Amino acid sequence: MKILLANDDGIYAPGLAAMEKALRAIGDVTVIAPATEQSGVGHSITFLSPLVCKEIYDGDRKRGYAVEGSPADCVKLGVVELMDERPDLIVSGINGGLNAGINVLYSGTVGAAIEGAFFGITSIAVSLEWDEHAQFDRAAEMARQIISQILEHKSKSPRLYNLNIPTPATKLPPGEAELKIVPMGVARYGEHFIKRKDPRNRDYYWATGDPRPEHGEEETDLSALEKGYLTLTPLHFDMTERAQIDEMKPWNLKVLD
């Protein structure tokens, strides 16, 4: 199996190294990752400047490529130009920090997986809750197990998944962590900013991520993660509100001038 591994934390991120090590047990891994951290860039791509690309080695072993671009750039460039064969699987991560709820829309980690899905390749974004002493190796092994099972059950059509791992789950004995398949939470949050002055007396604002989202009756990735479950969410990049198309057809909208 040919695997393209990307991320948004950069080519030297510990989560990327842990995921590469774990995935080598199930396939031939090519790392194609941003040269520098690209957190929060979503699904942005580069087209107004060239994409500088550098081969990266681990000793004598060619590990992959560092791209001076976004996570989506890395996947696009990898599939079209850098890999000798089309990958069978694309994995993005492990991200240092959860990508759940509406953060899915901002995530460069998820953006890389979405780009893989554009190519019709099963793609999985993997994120681990932020912790100063994050157990990336344990999380990578957990992710590998889930990915292997997804591949056993995948349909003929490519699929896009978002996997999140809470810190407490990585500290449980083997076999005790549990996973829930849940929708992403869509409650709005992260509306607070701290206003400060810089040394030149100019105002600047720093996002705090507060307030925390409120949970409804339906279990979501956010509520399940708080309870210590791993969460897996199937995603789709088609943003069309199809139900509204039929509702709008009788409107008979016209260009008047």
**Is pLDDT above 80 for 213?**
no
SS3 label, residue 66 = strand
Average pLDDT, the chain: 95
Residue 1 burial by CB count (10 A; 0-12/13-18/19+): exposed, middle or buried?
Answer: exposed
Buried b (16+ CB within 10 A) or exposed e, 187-209: eebbeeeeeeeeeeeeeeeeeee
Structure tokens at 67: 């791209």
What is the share, in percent, of the chain residues with pLDDT greater than 90?
89
The reported pLDDT for the residue numbered 110 is 98
pLDDT tens track for 133-172: 999 999 999 999 999 999 998 777 889 999 999 999 999 9
The reported pLDDT for the residue numbered 73 is 98
Binding annotation for a divalent metal cation: 8-9, 39, 95
SS3 label, residue 138 = helix
Q: Which residues contact 175 (CB under 8 A, 6 or more apart)?
A: none
Structure tokens at 8: 């948004």
**Is pLDDT above 90 for 215?**
no
pLDDT tens track for 234-245: 999 999 999 999
Give the Å distances, CA to CA, from 222 to 7, 131, 187, 244.
22, 17, 10, 28
The reported pLDDT for the residue numbered 188 is 82
pLDDT tens track for 34-46: 999 999 999 999 9
- Each domain of the chain, given as residue ranges in start order, spans 2-187+216-249
pLDDT band at 78 (very low <50, low <70, confident <90, very high): very high
CB-CB neighbours of 217 under 10 Å: 5
- Report yes or no: 37 and 14 within 8 Å, Cβ to Cβ: no
Binding annotation: 8-9, 39, 95
Q: What is the pTM of this model?
A: 0.94
CATH architecture assigned to 2-187+216-249: 3-Layer(aba) Sandwich (3.40)
Q: Using N-to-C axis directions, what is the helix angle for 14-23 and 136-153, rounded to 10°?
A: 50
Q: What does the pLDDT average to over 172-195?
A: 92
The reported pLDDT for the residue numbered 42 is 96
- Report yes or no: 30 and 83 within 8 Å, Cβ to Cβ: yes
